[in-house]
Structure 1
Amino acid sequence: MSRSVLIIGGNRGIGHSTVRAFLERGDKVAFTHRSSGADPDLAYLGALPVLCDITDPEQVESAFKEVEADQGPVEVLVANAGITRDKLLLRMSEEDFTTVLETNLIASYRLAKRATWSMVKAKQGGRIILVSSAVALKGEAGQTNYAASKAGLIGFGRSLAREVGSRGITVNIVTPGLTDTAMAAALPETRVNEIIGDVPLGRIGRPEEIAATIAFLASEEASYITGAVVPVDGGISMGH
């Protein structure tokens, strides 16, 4: 059965692969993008591009209304937003810290709250998948802001799972490791090689691998999974 799916940050990387994964399953898929413009390939495949700055509450509300008008109330939300402003803590400004939290954590609260409201109203359950990071589990020098934001998603998601489970809504958290995206491409090659050296599987992840896990958690087969933290990281966070 086709569902109404909203994927945050679907223009590239993990989000882009996730849009394609849900389209291949026959769902109605909308994805947000910012001022850089929507990927025309996804629109060609049938996905609905929605312009939205998720740090703006009014734009979030407008985005949900646009999606609801086109494909019905959101039944699956994938909160995939993520930015970095890497610096050692002693060099990190308050703006560097709060901007990352605003985009990665506070905006996810805003999105999940709006999606939960419509899911409860519809009385047909729903799926919320929050995209965190292996860094939330193991830490990373120079990423106190990013790690705090992504670790916050774990506590937020598990608490929300307890609140809405009786409504048939599941909430799960995916923690990707280093993945072949623009974020990884911005790292020095020496640093990428260092990280890969710590990965038991000895390679970088592919966006399609993260997307497949997200799509599974949104499926009927995963209907008894909620509050889970699912690492897709080649084993780098093992033991955390």
Structure 2
Amino acid sequence: MNFVISYSGGKDSVLSLHKMLEGGHTPMGLLVMVNQEQQRSWFHGVDLELLRQIAASLEIPLLPCESGGEDYHTRMEETLRAAKAQGAEACVFGDIDIEDHREWCRARCDAAGLQCIHPLWQRDRLDNTNEIIALGYQCVIKCVRNKDLPQSFLGRILDAELVAEMAKRGLDVCGENGEYHTVAVGGPVFHRPVAYECKEILDFGNISAINICAAKR
């Protein structure tokens, strides 16, 4: 099956991609919703140059879809229709168990005439996190919700030690409720590690994020 994937850059996206490739399916593009004003991905805040380097390492075309926010769903549907015209049969998402999210994804796919696939659906959240680590993916913590995690977590690679610390704090270690976000920069489906630099930390009150950039060559 030919597919595009709604790719946030984070651990659940890369694990969904891993599952699809493992199943013998063919990726046609990484669909990334881009904040038109900031020129970064929506929600995870990954800058475009780093996304380009990630796509190059995965050897999958980047499909940036710019939106101001109010037209988010319609712009995504336009990109999905264009992907279908190029031969895509489905769009893949990394959601796990929040039904409203799945319904939203399904509506976008229905509008574009594509199948909607969630490879991680109803899998245990801890199992997903442990699998990502066991497979050897390097997922850098990009954002944290300040009431849940300290800024010292930012820029660190997700590993068993961090997962144990989150569990001690009584948090969902998968971060599915917004406790933290990651960006994957290496692992089995990458053809080479993505060189990156961690720069300044930005505190937005509710959340903090570290500016992760593609390393200068």
TM-score range, shorter chain: 0.3 to 0.5
Normalised by the size of structure 1, how large is the TM-score? 0.39
- State the TM-score, normalizing by the size of structure 2: 0.42
Tell which has more relative contact order, 1 or 2 (C-alpha 8 A, sep 6+): 2
More strand by share: 2
